[in-house]
Amino acid sequence: TPVSNDLNLSIKEVRKVKDVFIAGSEFKQLKGAKLKYETLVKLPTICLEKNTSTRKYLDNYLNNKGIVIEPEFELATSDMIVQFTRRNLGIGCVVYDFAEEYIENGEVFELEFEEEIPLRNMCIVCDEKRPMSVAGSKMMELL
């Protein structure tokens, strides 16, 4: 989420996801500090491209707080964001799952803010007017 709901769509929530900001060793002075989101305006940030639901969610959340960030890099995938962050090219914003391994092994750390970004939902979106493929039906059974 967010996902716009067309009357033809069935949306099923699968699980919650957490958006986080991560940083590498060049930004160690931020580790453990309770930050305000305004801090991000002064830092080089790395985000997904604007046409993604994750980026729209982030921008909307920050805009509601009066904050507009201009990312140093806008990348196509979260994996790329993690790799750029590992190389200290900026502060990355990703869904926690993409950074978890790197956080656990200490290559990056999660920035802490006075207020956490609200969780959102990972969903399965289906077009009710079109038949589902055999593979799609099987995947829905598994989920």
Q: What is the pLDDT of residue 118?
A: 95
* Paired tokens of 51: 């046409």
How many other CB atoms are found less than 10 A from the CB of residue 44?
Answer: 17
Q: What is d(CA 17, CA 118) in angstroms, rounded to the nearest whole number? A: 9
Q: Is 108 exposed, middle or buried (0-12, 13-18, 19+ CB in 10 A)?
A: buried
**Per-residue pLDDT tens digits for 13-67:** 888 999 999 999 999 999 999 999 999 999 999 999 998 888 999 999 999 999 9
Amino acid at 114: E
Strand-strand pairing, 19-23 and 45-48: unpaired
Predicted confidence at residue 123, as pLDDT, reads 85
For 71-95, write each residue's pLDDT tens digit.
999 999 999 999 999 999 999 999 9
**Can you tell me which residue has the tokens 């140093």?**
72
pLDDT tens for residues 97-123? 999 999 999 999 999 999 999 999 988
Q: What is the pTM for the complete model shown?
A: 0.85
The whole-angstrom separation of Cα 55 and Cα 71 is 11
Q: Where residue 6 falls among pLDDT bands split at 50, 70, 90?
A: low
Going by C-beta distance under 8 Å and a sequence separation of 6 or more, which residues neighbour residue 56?
A: 2, 50
